[in-house]
Chain A
Amino acid sequence: MSDASMPGGVPSGSTPAERTGGAAPGAAAEGATGEGVIESGLTPDGGIPGAGASGGVAPGEVWRRLSPRMLIVHPFQVAVRAVPALLGLFVAGSSKGVPGHLWSLGGLVLMVVIGVLHWFTTTFRITDEHVQVRKGLFRRQVVTVPRDRVRTVDVTSHILHRVLGLARVEIGTGRSDQKGGGAVKLDALGSAEAAHLREELLHRQLAPTAAGGPLTAAPGPAAPAVAAGVGPGPAPEAVADPVVSPARDTALGTAAGTAAGPALGTAAGPAVGTVPPAGAAFPKEEETELARLRPRWIGYAPFTLSGIVAVGVVAGFLSRLANEGGVDLMRLGALRDGWEWFTGIPVWTAAAGAVIAFVVFVAVASTLGYVLSFWGFRLTRHSGGTLHVTRGLVTTRATTIEERRLRGVEVSEPLLLRAVRGARLIAVTTGLRVGRGAQRGGSLLLPPAPVAEVERLAERILTPDAAGRVPVPGPAGQAAAPDEASPVTGPLVPHGPAALRRRFTRALGANALVVAALLALSEWAGTPAWTWIAALAFLPFAALLAADRYRSLGHTMTREYLVTRWGSLARRRVALERDGIIGWNVTRSFFQRRAGLATLTATTAAGRQGYRVSDVAMSEAVGIAAAGIPGLLDPFLVAHETAPQTAHEPTPVSPPERPAP
């Protein structure tokens, strides 16, 4: 791991994804030599694992290119995006003149050229310490990510990628202050190379960590193997040597083959002593299947409403066909006849028919979407300390999450799904986005499935098994009750009558405001009276919503996890590892203060970045915060009986004496 192997790199300890201008002297010089290496060292195919290693050069030293097959993919993608315009040009006839289409064709050609240039200007390499990507034509950039900051690796193949044997690799670094979480994208590599890269990035780095880090406190079965292969002390080169990869790949292949059967819970098995003989520094990968899609879960699909997106997509396509393609939809005979028939029938029948058609369409589209996204879903745990999700019917996706970075799980129950006792499971981890589009964001650990199944899986993920991660020891002084309530299913502390009142005040108050506004409008601005009557009729639903929102509210603290649950339309229960909490925010609005309540937010680098315990009593909020990170709050706490301490005049910053804890 000599520093000389990576000029143009950044000192370790600087920010994880530092952008260095290509004009910097070091980088420029490196660029020049690097190009030379590419010319000689790159095999044009790139589909073989470790292809960069050909010619005896260690792959880490070589600037590698994306797969040349991208030169086919890119023009095709551009063409697909331009389908409405092309349809308008060639098929449906046009109301605009020809020059307009020539312009858009010119635009297409330009986009293709840019895409091709993108391929020529992008190179990357994986050194012992960094992942580096160089890109840009006029503004050369070198993006450098230290490898110990790599949290997740996401491998996606769209249909065209799959036909050509390609895969896009996205490396998540868990930076929260950068757009896209500081992720590095490589679009695309040969699929074998992508899979290899994933192994290389996430599994290999565990070896040095396990040998030297604090995580080997409890000797799991994997630890002796690591020690045997690596030796804790003086042979770091063995750890870092990337040439051993082919041997490892075969070992991996067999592991995957044997674990594909129905045998669950065999991970605590014989990892010891199965070190591949070729001097590989890794224990043999053991793979345990934690979950697999069952076909009957597809029955939950219509309740996810994901099909509503499809309605938007179809509408968008039609409008683009009309605008860009210049197709006059009303000139299509069938459509026009349908519309005339539709406007001819009585309004109530039409409305009912439209609603039914909409519901059916959404249900069908949701089911299709479910099958497309989650077909072949499989969640496995690797002895290397990662969780691995593979899924997808047409577009395949493989996400690898480092378990050490998994800070908890979120059981998400949208209202409709809850009504049929279904739920989803989402990972709370650094490096993957959560929230809107979590399904696309790759942090999904289980698609909509029976809630019992979700809870069973969540417990299994949170419970470290022998071959998996070693739990971070609980905060000092907290004796572990062996039969402690599970963070996933255990009972929660309700938030009390003040929180209940607040739920009702907010729901009914908001509804009353809407009613009043609509009433005023109909009185003075002449909007139809049924608007405010409808809003008034919604009042009972608002009350139900408030009651359910209160029923959802709850929190608890276990030895390792802070658990909080909230929401009605989308109820979520989050178990957040206490060790992953990196600060507390307590907020109290004017109204909360009158009700004696406060909202506690546990900030974290994972998932949503902050998890709230809403509307708890102020003393409870402080109690949770004090217990959650022991010792942090002690200097700032006073017993309730004493009068609030008056603040001193501004004094120099010298820290005040802390009372002994």
Chain B
Amino acid sequence: MQTTPTLRPPLHRVSRTAIWYWTVRAALGWLVVAAAQVVWMVAAGGDHAVLRVTALAGTAVLAAAHLIVMPRWRYRVHRWETTPEAVYTLSGWFKQEWRIAPVSRIQTVDSERGPLEQLFKLANVTVTTASAAGPIKIGGLDRETADRIVHELTASAQATAGDAT
């Protein structure tokens, strides 16, 4: 430690398609909120109509801002990298989080595709260690990359002896 070392960001970004995946997923959430508000407006009848319309408009503005800003920002800050020795990720923008685990301590490597992720041909990878505090998640990868990560990590994790605790 001659100079003060800092962590560089991991090398890889997730798939660009993930931007659309996150947008659609967030939009579905906002649709539920908006639908609830519409029901409330219709069901409750006349009084306070102005208030309700304002609330709905506010929701729409918030949703639009969220849908435009969030996915792009997330795409910029979510990064990952694997080497034969380690898995390394960086995520979050309000609360940044770096996670590093040695490959020799990996217990399982899971890849998962939700229905929406399948639509966008995406997958996520979860790397768990023996610690409940240590799972590393990489979301929004394209399918081939995810498969390759799983393959590589499984191979190198199996090469190490011991029970990884």
Q: Do A and B come from one complex?
A: yes
Q: Could you tell me which A residues sit within 8 Å of B by CB distance?
A: 148-149, 174, 176-177, 405, 430, 580, 582-590, 593, 601, 603-606, 608-610, 618-619, 622-623, 625-627, 629, 631-633, 635-641, 644-645, 647-653, 655-656, 658
Does B98 contact A586, Cβ atoms closer than 8 Å? yes
Does A582 contact B129, Cβ atoms closer than 8 Å? yes
Does B6 contact A637, Cβ atoms closer than 8 Å? yes
Q: Does B54 contact A (CB under 8 A)?
A: no
Does A647 contact B98, Cβ atoms closer than 8 Å? no
Partner of B8, one of A405, A623, A638: A638
A652 to B88, CA, bound (A): 16
Does A176 contact B5, Cβ atoms closer than 8 Å? no
User: Residues of B contacting A582 with CB < 8 Å?
Assistant: 101-102, 105, 129-131, 134, 164-165
Q: Can you offer 16 A-B residue contacts whose CB atoms are under 8 A?
A: A584-B99, A586-B98, A603-B101, A609-B133, A610-B133, A623-B4, A627-B1, A636-B86, A638-B6, A638-B7, A645-B9, A647-B12, A650-B12, A650-B145, A652-B148, A658-B83
Partner of B132, one of A590, A609, A623, A656: A609
A640 to B149, CA, bound (A): 30
Does A610 contact B1, Cβ atoms closer than 8 Å? no
User: Residues of B contacting A608 with CB < 8 Å?
Assistant: 133
User: Residues of A contacting B105 with CB < 8 Å?
Assistant: 582-583
Q: Does B128 contact A (CB under 8 A)?
A: yes
User: Residues of B contacting A580 with CB < 8 Å?
Assistant: 165
* Known interface pairs A637-B7, A656-B11; 19 further A-B residue pairs with C-beta atoms within 8 A, sorted by A's residue number: A176-B132, A582-B105, A582-B129, A582-B131, A585-B98, A586-B7, A588-B95, A589-B94, A593-B96, A604-B133, A605-B165, A619-B5, A632-B85, A633-B7, A647-B9, A650-B14, A651-B12, A652-B148, A656-B81
Q: Does B71 contact A (CB under 8 A)?
A: no
Partner of B152, one of A603, A629, A649, A653: A653
Does A623 contact B131, Cβ atoms closer than 8 Å? no
A658 to B82, CA, bound (A): 11
Partner of B4, one of A606, A632, A640: A640
Query: How many Å from the CB of A398 to the closest CB on chain B?
Result: 24
User: Residues of A contacting B99 with CB < 8 Å?
Assistant: 583-586
Interface residues on B, range: 35 or more
Query: How many Å from the CB of A557 to the closest CB on chain B?
Result: 12
Does A604 contact B131, Cβ atoms closer than 8 Å? yes
Assuming A177-B132, A589-B94, is B86 touching A632 (CB within 8 A)? yes
Q: Which of B89-112 contact A (CB under 8 A)?
A: 92, 94-102, 105
A510 to B92, CA, bound (A): 25
User: Residues of B contacting A625 with CB < 8 Å?
Assistant: 100
Closest to A629 in B: B102
User: Residues of B contacting A649 with CB < 8 Å?
Assistant: 13
Partner of A603, one of B3, B10, B134: B134
Does B13 contact A647, Cβ atoms closer than 8 Å? yes
A588 to B94, CA, bound (A): 8
Query: How many Å from the CB of B88 to the closest CB on chain A?
Result: 6
User: Residues of A contacting B95 with CB < 8 Å?
Assistant: 587-590
Query: How many Å from the CB of A637 to the closest CB on chain B?
Result: 4
Does A601 contact B9, Cβ atoms closer than 8 Å? no
Closest to B156 in A: A655
Does B134 contact A585, Cβ atoms closer than 8 Å? yes
User: Residues of B contacting A601 with CB < 8 Å?
Assistant: 133
Q: Does B79 contact A (CB under 8 A)?
A: yes
Does B9 contact A619, Cβ atoms closer than 8 Å? no
Partner of A635, one of B15, B86, B92, B130: B86
Query: How many Å from the CB of B21 to the closest CB on chain A?
Result: 15
User: Residues of B contacting A148 with CB < 8 Å?
Assistant: 163
Does B148 contact A653, Cβ atoms closer than 8 Å? yes
Query: How many Å from the CB of B13 to the closest CB on chain A?
Result: 5
Assuming A582-B105, A626-B1, is B8 touching A636 (CB within 8 A)? yes
User: Residues of B contacting A593 with CB < 8 Å?
Assistant: 96
Query: How many Å from the CB of A11 to the closest CB on chain B?
Result: 14
User: Residues of B contacting A618 with CB < 8 Å?
Assistant: 6
Query: How many Å from the CB of A215 to the closest CB on chain B?
Result: 12
Query: How many Å from the CB of A303 to the closest CB on chain B?
Result: 31
Does B5 contact A637, Cβ atoms closer than 8 Å? yes
Partner of B3, one of A586, A632, A641, A652: A641
Q: Does B29 contact A (CB under 8 A)?
A: no
Does B129 contact A626, Cβ atoms closer than 8 Å? no
Query: How many Å from the CB of B94 to the closest CB on chain A?
Result: 5
Assuming A584-B99, A585-B98, A633-B100, is B6 touching A603 (CB within 8 A)? no
Does A655 contact B82, Cβ atoms closer than 8 Å? yes
User: Residues of A contacting B85 with CB < 8 Å?
Assistant: 631-632, 635, 658
User: Residues of A contacting B129 with CB < 8 Å?
Assistant: 582-583, 603, 605
User: Residues of A contacting B83 with CB < 8 Å?
Assistant: 635, 655-656, 658
Q: Does B84 contact A (CB under 8 A)?
A: yes
A583 to B89, CA, bound (A): 12
A585 to B92, CA, bound (A): 13
A583 to B100, CA, bound (A): 6
User: Residues of B contacting A174 with CB < 8 Å?
Assistant: 130, 165
Does A605 contact B130, Cβ atoms closer than 8 Å? yes
Does A653 contact B149, Cβ atoms closer than 8 Å? yes
Which A-B residue pairs are the 8 nearest by beta carbons? A610-B133, A603-B134, A605-B130, A583-B101, A582-B105, A603-B131, A619-B4, A605-B165
Does A647 contact B5, Cβ atoms closer than 8 Å? no
Query: How many Å from the CB of B121 to the closest CB on chain A?
Result: 15
User: Residues of A contacting B96 with CB < 8 Å?
Assistant: 587-589, 593
Closest to B131 in A: A603
A658 to B83, CA, bound (A): 8
Encoded as 1 (CB less than 8 Å from any A CB) or 0, chain B from 1 to 36 comes to 101111111111111100000000000000000000
User: Residues of A contacting B145 with CB < 8 Å?
Assistant: 650, 652-653
User: Residues of A contacting B7 with CB < 8 Å?
Assistant: 586, 622, 633, 636-638
Query: How many Å from the CB of A649 to the closest CB on chain B?
Result: 8
User: Residues of A contacting B92 with CB < 8 Å?
Assistant: 587
Closest to B164 in A: A582
Encoded as 1 (CB less than 8 Å from any A CB) or 0, chain B from 125 to 165 comes to 00011111110100000000100110010000000000111
Query: How many Å from the CB of B43 to the closest CB on chain A?
Result: 29
User: Residues of B contacting A626 with CB < 8 Å?
Assistant: 1, 5
A636 to B85, CA, bound (A): 11
A593 to B12, CA, bound (A): 23
A625 to B16, CA, bound (A): 31
A610 to B130, CA, bound (A): 11
Q: Which of B24-62 contact A (CB under 8 A)?
A: none
Does B81 contact A430, Cβ atoms closer than 8 Å? no
Does A640 contact B102, Cβ atoms closer than 8 Å? no
Query: How many Å from the CB of A249 to the closest CB on chain B?
Result: 30
User: Residues of A contacting B148 with CB < 8 Å?
Assistant: 652-653
Does B134 contact A640, Cβ atoms closer than 8 Å? no
Query: How many Å from the CB of B70 to the closest CB on chain A?
Result: 16
Closest to B84 in A: A655
Does A636 contact B165, Cβ atoms closer than 8 Å? no
